[in-house]
Structure 1
Amino acid sequence: MTLDFWFFCIAGPAVLFAGISKGGFGSGAAFASASILALVIEPGMALGIMLPLLMLIDVSTLRPYWGKWGASEVKLLVAGGVPGVILGALLYKIASPDFFRLLIGGISVGFVIWQLGRSTGWIAAGKRSLPSSAGLFWGAVAGFTSFVSHAGGPPAAVYLLSRNLSKTQYQATTVLLFWTLNAVKFVPYAFLGIFTMETMTADLLLAPFAIAGAWIGVKAHRLISQKVFFGITYLLLMVTGTKLIWDGLT
């Protein structure tokens, strides 16, 4: 990996985008930053660079949203997410990332289509929120996919978007969830050798982009209406789901 001008032309905007997504729009699209980095460096190295930066964004956004999350939702997602991370660590060497990209991408796109069908009246059934027990399942999926590709946002969104939370409850829940999961991921990442001196050097140089993105995301969250917030969230979920499907097929 060469930390040259072209690297930062790609990595800087990617990390800034991750900060904005995690700081204001529910983390759903933040995983794309690792995919963008993987265009210019080895994918495993991209994961190693992004995790400390994602943790920095988590710390930067935790205070503005402290105590505003959905209590039952975050407990269930964390309870399912931690075992999901452990499973991801155990299966990291043999799991097929493409299979899970296709699975999560398909679920994400299908969920958005389902929600649009409900809102337009095309689909009359299934208007109840997902049960609380579903939080354990989607938390486990989020934990696993977060470990293998930092793509835990879409599975968490499938559950949270069905729970009729306010925009700030939704956002705060994702902040606390991924603050916890990313902290849990750090130790197995270290044991797997994903962190190197090169990745840590890149993290130090990219840290300002992460902090700036988090700040922009928090400000944007406060300025936009709840209707616009969820519109953007559904759009990001559709885009990231499509991107996951494309990555899995290609």
Structure 2
Amino acid sequence: MFADPWFLLAACIAVILIGLAKGGFSGLGALATPVLALATGPVQAAAILLPLLIASDVVSVWSFRRDWNRRIVAIMLPGALLGIALGWLIAARLPVAAIMAALGLISVGFGVWRLWVERGGRMPAPTRASPLTGAAFGVATGFTSQIAHAGGPPFQIWVTPQRLPHTEYVGTNAILFAIINWAKVPAYIALGEFGAANLTASAALAPLAIASTLAGVWLVRRVHGARFYTIVYLLMIGLGIKLLIDAV
């Protein structure tokens, strides 16, 4: 695979996106699979990236191990595990393009709405969303993560209005998705996608993933809280547009 310069370029871009996402700029992560899928099939791209997500999770979880919201993880995790199982069972029967289009529309709409709410730098009051809603978004997070490592938007839609301190937001994201990514491993083994070629590619790209995660951690600790959420919403809009383009 590495003899193909197009694969090498796409892989490096995808891995840098993963690293920055795991470092704190979570909207970037869902772009990684579509980018690498330009040079490989989408299933192979997701299989190559999963070990890299797990490697980056180690850095992210360690960096933010004291900054995470236990209530949010406890509410979302059971639903996320159910969503992973549903994705494994029925994703092959669903048009992935339709799922990505719906996710793209939701991401763009939510991102635009939140930027409108915060126009002029006004900080909206935090909201404490209901556990039932959080569990539902947990299912959506696990389902879309299983299909295309694209669980970020459902997580962001439920969590960002709660206005956590930005390091707590990143830490909560890190803990939840670290568990989700490990939970996805059996499905990829069952699909036969963890062959020698894919795992070799993952191992070769791991140092870049770890370095990019450290860079993301460094950057996110230096961004003001209000500006951080503006960046998150802009990334959501960009991600939504990319998902819509891929779905066409």
- CA distance, structure 2, for counterparts of residue 24 and residue 162 of structure 1: 17
Q: Is the 8 A contact 1:167 1:229 kept in 2?
A: yes
Could you say which residue in structure 1 is the equivalent of 2:187?
Answer: 188
SS at match of 1:195: coil
- CA distance, structure 1, for counterparts of residue 126 and residue 41 of structure 2: 43
Could you say which residue in structure 1 is the equivalent of 2:139?
Answer: 140
SS at match of 1:28: helix
Task: Give the TM-score taking structure 1 as reference length.
Answer: 0.92
- The residue type equivalent to 2:188 in the other structure is Y
Q: Is the 8 A contact 2:21 2:27 kept in 1?
A: yes
Corresponding position: 1:14 with 2:14: yes
Q: How does 1:88-107 map to 2 (within 5 A)?
A: 88-107=87-106
Q: Is the 8 A contact 1:66 1:172 kept in 2?
A: yes
Corresponding position: 1:214 with 2:220: no
- CA distance, structure 2, for counterparts of residue 68 and residue 139 of structure 1: 20
- CA distance, structure 2, for counterparts of residue 17 and residue 38 of structure 1: 14
Deviation readout 1:53-87 (Å, 9 max, x if unpaired): 01111011111111311121111111210100010
Range moving further from structure 2, 103-112 or 4-13? 4-13
1:99, CA displacement in angstroms? Answer: 1.2
Could you say which residue in structure 1 is the equivalent of 2:65?
Answer: 66
Deviation readout 1:75-105 (Å, 9 max, x if unpaired): 1111210100010111132122111111111
Range moving further from structure 2, 188-197 or 153-162? 188-197
Instruction: Give structure 2 stretches of 5+ with no counterpart.
Output: none
Q: Is the 8 A contact 1:31 1:151 kept in 2?
A: yes
Could you say which residue in structure 2 is the equivalent of 1:80?
Answer: 79
1:18, CA displacement in angstroms? Answer: 1.1
Query: Which structure has the highest helix share of the two?
Result: 2
Q: Is the 8 A contact 2:144 2:150 kept in 1?
A: yes
- The residue type equivalent to 2:10 in the other structure is I
- CA distance, structure 2, for counterparts of residue 127 and residue 157 of structure 1: 14
Could you say which residue in structure 1 is the equivalent of 2:238?
Answer: 239
Deviation readout 1:155-201 (Å, 9 max, x if unpaired): 10001111121101111111011101000000111111122211111
1:228, CA displacement in angstroms? Answer: 1.8
- The residue type equivalent to 1:12 in the other structure is C
User: How many residue pairs end up in the alignment?
Assistant: 244
Identity of aligned residues (%): 35
1:3, CA displacement in angstroms? Answer: 4.0
- The residue type equivalent to 1:52 in the other structure is P
- The residue type equivalent to 2:52 in the other structure is L
Task: Give the TM-score taking structure 2 as reference length.
Answer: 0.93
- CA distance, structure 2, for counterparts of residue 151 and residue 6 of structure 1: 23
- CA distance, structure 2, for counterparts of residue 46 and residue 202 of structure 1: 10
- CA distance, structure 1, for counterparts of residue 201 and residue 236 of structure 2: 28
1:116, CA displacement in angstroms? Answer: 2.6
Q: What is the root-mean-square deviation of aligned Cα atoms in Å?
A: 1.7
- The residue type equivalent to 1:237 in the other structure is M
Q: Is the 8 A contact 1:22 1:28 kept in 2?
A: no
- CA distance, structure 1, for counterparts of residue 126 and residue 171 of structure 2: 24
Could you say which residue in structure 2 is the equivalent of 1:35?
Answer: 34
